[in-house]
Amino acid sequence: MSKSPSKAPVLLSGGNPQIAKGDGDAPVQAYIAAMPEWKRDVGRQLDALIERTVPNVRKAVKWNSPLYGVEGNGWFLGIHCFSKYIKLAFFNGALLDPEPPVGSKDPNTRYFHIHEDDPFDEARLAHWIAQAAKHPGWIQ
């Protein structure tokens, strides 16, 4: 009996995994498992950090990006893979202190980029995540 080959997720431009929309942990874990190369380990670290920092965090994948939110308060964080970095989108980032360093066309959103050789600054990320989860997020 032969095994059928497992179908690897399609990587969109920039290496972002194409994962079907869905609510809950399962689609987020599928996205993380499909993240290419070094990004997969960082994705696991981020997901674990978010879970520790925001008990009962709500998760979903929409538009090929994992989203993290608080029930009744919207989405506060999105993750997206690009060829050279992972982009964290803090949808209410303009309210964070200090603000994440990268601006957006949306005056409320701020970005933080993680590159392959960047140290994983868990304390800084946890500080932003905890603050972001307390503010009203993006509703969709």
The string of DSSP codes covering 108-139 is: T-EEEEEETTS---HHHHHHHHHHHHHS--B-
Cα–Cα distance measured from residue 36 to residue 68, given in angstroms and rounded to the nearest whole number: 21
SS3 of 68, please? strand
- Residue 23 three-state SS: strand
Per-residue tokens: 47? 């997901």
Contact 14, 90 (CB under 8 A): no
**Cα–Cα distance, 87 to 51 (Å, whole number):** 18
Q: What integer is the mean pLDDT of 126-133?
A: 98
- Is 60 exceeded by the pLDDT of residue 135? yes
The predicted-structure confidence for 5-25, as pLDDT tens digits, reads as follows 456 678 887 788 999 999 999
Please tell me the CATH code under which domain 13-134 is placed: 3.90.1150.200
Distances (CA, A) of 20 to 17, 27, 47: 10, 7, 18
If you count them, how many residues does the chain have?
140
The model's pTM is 0.91
Locate tokens 């964080």: which residue? 77
Helix, strand, coil content of the chain in percent (nearest 5) = 30, 25, 40
Q: What is the pLDDT of residues 99-118, one digit of tens each?
A: 999 999 999 999 999 999 99
